[in-house]
Amino acid sequence: MSELIKHECGIAMVRLLKPLEYYLSKYGTPLYGLNKLHLMMQKQHNRGQDGAGMACLKFDLEPGNKYINRIRSNSVSSIQDIFKRAYQPFSDMALSKPERLNDVQWLKENMEFSGELFMGHLRYGTFGTNVVENLQPMIRFNNWMTKTLVLAGNFNMTNVDELFNLLIDMGQYPVETSDTVTIMEKIGHFLDAENEKLYQQFKKDGFEKRDISPRIADSINIQEILINSSKSWDGGYAIGGMLGHGDAFLMRDPSGIRPAFYYADDEVIVAASERPVIQTSFNVSQDDVKELQPGHALVIKKNGSYTEEAFLDPLERKSCSFERIYFSRGTDSDIYRERKRLGRALVPAVMDAIDNDLHNAVFSYIPNTASSAFRGMINELHNVCDDIKHKEISEIDPAKDSAKLQEILSFRPRVENIAVKDVKLRTFITQDSQRDDLVGHV
C-alpha cells in the first residue's frame, strides 16, 4: 500500500421486502424503513461525528416522479438534523391531514423518504473538508434508472492517484480526485458498459426501446460490474450502493480490513458496519447476523432475492487494529473478548513501566471504549496480586501475625476514575507535537 488508511465511517442499509401497506398494518406506521434506518444510524453515532447523510429509493413510480431522495448534514448534531428534516413533513401532515398517513400510495408519490430502499452514512473524517457536497451518499444521476448509482461507504483507497489515471486512460475527465468520486466513476463506468451490452443484446433480439429498460433491470449483473470495477483497488473498504431501478449491494475488501454485517428475514434485508447494531435494532441473536466475507458482496435484486457473491479472491485477513481496539463498540461479543485479552496482554509492560510497584500505582482508563480492555487488565492485575499475596503469606506465620495477614489479604490494584473524556478531541490522530497538549485538555 502506498498510503496510510486514514479514516473510518459507518454505513447502514435497509431493504423492505413487503409492500409498504404491510408495515402500516403490522407496525402502525408507513415509516417503518425510515424509523429503522434512524435507529441503526443512532446506534452507530460513534462511527460518525463530522457529518451524516441518507438516501431513499422508491420503487415502481410513474415517470415524472422523483424516485430518489437524499439529505446530508455537517451540523454538530448531524444525525438529528437529517432525520428532523425528513420527519418534519410527516409531522405537519399528521396535524393537517392525518388520514393521508394511511394512504401509502399517496405518500410514495408526494412525500420524500417513503420508499422501499434506504442507505445511511456517518462520516468520521480525519482529513479533508466537511462541506455538505463532500458528504455521502453520493449520487451519479442518469435518465436511465439502471445507470443511476447511489454510493456510500467506509473506505479509504491507498492508490487514489493510480485509480484517477486509470479513469483518464478510459477517456474520462474526472472533475475531482477524491477516492469517493474516483470509486463512484469506476463503478459507474462498468455499470454503463453493462447497460450498453444488455441494450445491444435486447435490441438485436428485436425489442422496442421502451421494453428494453425493464429487461436490463432484470438482467443486470452486479457481480460482474464489481469484479471489473475493483481489479485495481488497493485499500480497506465496505461500500454500499443502490441502483436507480432497485438493485443494491454491499461489498467488502478482500483483506477484511473494514467490517460489514447483514441480516435477512421475510420482512427486511439490512446491513451495517457493526453486528450489535443489527442485533439490537431488530431484536435478533448474534447467530442470526452474518458477517460479509472478505472479497464478497451482498447483492440484493429488486425482486427481493439476495446472494453473497465473490468479486475478488480473499487475501490474508487483516482486520483494522484501530477498528478492533478503539472504534467499534465493545458490545460485539467478539470485540469484547478480544479487548479483554488485549488488556491482559498489557500487564507485563505496565508492571515494567511502574517498576512492579503496585502499592503506589493508580489505574484508570480513557476513553469509554477502553473499558473492556481495562477490565481485562485489572483482572490480570488481580492475578498478579494473588501471586504476591501467596509469596508474602508463605513468609510469615499467619497464626502469630494476624494483622500482617490482614494487610496482605487486603492488597489489590487501586482503581479510580481520574480522567473524563466527554468531548470530541481526537488525541490519537493528532501530530505528536500537539498530542500532549490535547491530552492535558481532555
Instruction: Return mean pLDDT, the chain.
Output: 88
302's CB contacts (< 8 A; 6+ apart) are: 59, 217, 218, 245, 246, 247
* From-to residues of CATH 3.60.20.10 in the chain: 8-154+236-322
pLDDT of residue 40: 96
pLDDT of residue 332: 80
Residue-wise pLDDT for 210-222, tens only, equals 999 999 999 999 9
Segments of 74-192 assigned E as strands? 117-124, 138-140, 149-157
Greater model confidence, 159 or 363 = 363
pLDDT of residue 430: 46
pTM for the structure as a whole: 0.81
Specify the 3-state DSSP secondary structure of 169: helix
Q: Three cell numbers at 385?
A: 496480586
392 vs 36: CA distance, rounded Å: 58
Query: For the residues 346-370, what does the mean pLDDT come to?
Result: 91
pLDDT of residue 327: 66
Range 8-154+236-322 has CATH code 3.30.70.890 = no
**With 60 as the cut, is the pLDDT of residue 247 above it?**
yes
pLDDT of residue 174: 60
Residue-wise pLDDT for 28-51, tens only, equals 999 999 999 999 999 988 776 789
Parallel, antiparallel, or unpaired for β 362-363 and 414-415?
Answer: parallel
196's CB contacts (< 8 A; 6+ apart) are: none
Look at 292-301, 321-330, 344-353 and tell me which has the smallest mean pLDDT.
321-330
Greater model confidence, 438 or 43 = 43
Helical packing angle, 209-219 and 179-204, nearest 10°: 120
**With 80 as the cut, is the pLDDT of residue 286 above it?**
yes
Which residue has 499475596 as its cell numbers? 389
Query: For the residues 145-169, what does the mean pLDDT come to?
Result: 81
Residue-wise pLDDT for 2-28, tens only, equals 344 445 689 999 999 999 999 999 999
Greater model confidence, 432 or 201 = 201
Give the number of other Cβ atoms within 10 Å of residue 345's Cβ: 13
Residue-wise pLDDT for 85-97, tens only, equals 999 999 999 999 9
Query: For the residues 108-112, what does the mean pLDDT come to?
Result: 96
Buried b (16+ CB within 10 A) or exposed e, 355-384: eeebeeeebebbbebbebbbbbbbebbeeb
**With 50 as the cut, is the pLDDT of residue 427 above it?**
no
**With 80 as the cut, is the pLDDT of residue 330 above it?**
no
In order, the DSSP letters of 19-62 are -HHHHHHHHS-TTHHHHHHHHHHHTTGGG-SSEEEEEEE--SPP
80's CB contacts (< 8 A; 6+ apart) are: none
Burial of 341 (0-12, 13-18, 19+ CB in 10 A): middle
pLDDT of residue 312: 95
How would residue 71 be classed by pLDDT, with cut points 50, 70 and 90?
A: very high
